């Protein structure tokens, strides 16, 4: 328990520190998390009797996509070029199955694509979201605030996770989806959502943007829960307990970012809608 608590404190401290330090720190940190996450994800299938993904190729594709994404975030290349390049790069991975002569080429292609969509793109979106919003703040296009939006997102995710656990332990009786995650309950889920909405209201009040953060909390909480459940489906299907062992007492990178990976795309979409139409 002590090891788990210390790991959690260091993990949270590193993330908060990078978000408050600089966009470059965020880029470096989450690129590292992304690389570890990719290794973990495809490592989950190493002992699978049908899936055989070429790890060298998928890591190369992940790094190329990430490099182009980061170059576009820092305005070295255009965002349009990055977006248009995604399909050709992914198609390289898909058509490689023509020459690999494996038993299940379609299954291999599906797993390869899932890793890109589930791990690589959400981490990239997180980096891009932080860089873009910090740039808009510094150039005066958004209301001045020293509070990074990505930090607020993480606070809401951690709030949901913490209070869903505490509420479930205290009041949990009705199973949420027992075949996927036997320990999750409706009482815990509701408790996590309610506290996330309260914390979202507090963040919004302190930052003079109440509607944005309450709606954001209403988006993040269910996405975080679904992200947790989705990773549980993956692990249960593959017969494993944790995605890795890099974080003592917590498992792997994917175990810690399962909620974030699902929440980032939906929260970023809400940010763009809010900027464009409100």
Q: Is residue 90 within a helix (H) or strand (E), and if so which, with residue range?
A: helix 79-95
**Distance, CA of 212 to chain centre:** 20
Q: What is the pLDDT of residue 102?
A: 84
Q: What is the pLDDT of residue 145?
A: 57
| Euclidean distance between CA atoms 209 and 10, whole angstroms | 30
Q: What is the pLDDT of residue 48?
A: 86
Q: What is the pLDDT of residue 137?
A: 62
Pair of tokens at residue 68: 């182009």
User: Which residue range(s) make up the domain with 81?
Assistant: 2-277
Tokens 């975080």 -> residue? 224
Q: What is the pLDDT of residue 69?
A: 95
| Euclidean distance between CA atoms 189 and 65, whole angstroms | 35
Domain count along the chain: 1
By CB atoms closer than 10 A (0-12, 13-18, 19+), residue 243 is buried
Pair of tokens at residue 91: 């198609």
**Which residues in the chain come in under a pLDDT of 50?**
140-141
From residue 90, how far is each of 31, 61, 95, 117, 172 by CA, in Å? 19, 7, 9, 10, 43
Q: What is the pLDDT of residue 142?
A: 52
DSSP line for 133-193: HHHHHHTTSS---SS-HHHHHHHHHHHHHHHHHHHHHHH--SBSSTTT-TT-BHHHHHHHH
The 10s digit of each residue's pLDDT in 146-187 is 678 999 999 999 999 999 989 988 887 888 888 888 888 999
Q: Which residues pair with 185 in a beta bridge?
A: 175
User: How many other CB atoms are there within 10 angstroms of residue 241's CB atom?
Assistant: 8
Q: What's the pTM value of the predicted model, to 2 decimals?
A: 0.92
């Amino acid at each position: 328990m002590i090891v788990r608590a210390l790991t959690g404190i260091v993990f949270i401290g590193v993330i908060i520190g990078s978000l408050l330090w600089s966009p470059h720190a965020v880029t470096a940190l989450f690129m590292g998390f992304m690389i570890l996450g990719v290794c973990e994800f495809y490592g989950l299938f190493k002992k699978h009797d049908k899936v055989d993904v070429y790890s060298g190729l998928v890591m190369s594709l992940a790094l190329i996509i990430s490099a182009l994404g980061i170059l576009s975030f820092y305005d070295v290349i255009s965002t349009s070029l990055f977006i248009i390049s995604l399909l050709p790069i992914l198609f390289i991975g898909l058509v490689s199955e023509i020459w690999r002569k494996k038993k299940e080429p379609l299954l291999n292609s599906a797993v390869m694509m899932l890793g890109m969509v589930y791990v690589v793109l959400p981490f990239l979106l997180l980096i891009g979201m932080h860089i873009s919003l910090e740039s808009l703040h510094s150039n005066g296009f958004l209301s001045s605030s020293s509070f990074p939006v990505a930090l607020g997102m993480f606070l809401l995710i951690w709030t949901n996770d913490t209070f869903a656990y505490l509420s479930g332990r205290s009041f949990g009786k009705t199973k949420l989806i027992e075949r996927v995650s036997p320990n999750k309950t409706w009482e815990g889920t509701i408790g996590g959502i309610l506290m996330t909405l309260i914390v979202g209201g507090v963040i919004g009040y302190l930052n003079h943007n109440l509607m944005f953060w309450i709606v954001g909390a209403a988006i993040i909480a269910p996405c975080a829960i679904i992200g947790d459940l989705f990773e549980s489906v993956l692990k249960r299907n593959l017969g494993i307990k944790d995605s890795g062992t890099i974080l003592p007492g917590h498992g792997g990178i994917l175990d810690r970012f399962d909620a974030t990976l699902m929440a980032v795309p939906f929260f970023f979409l809400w940010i763009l809608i809010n900027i464009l139409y409100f």
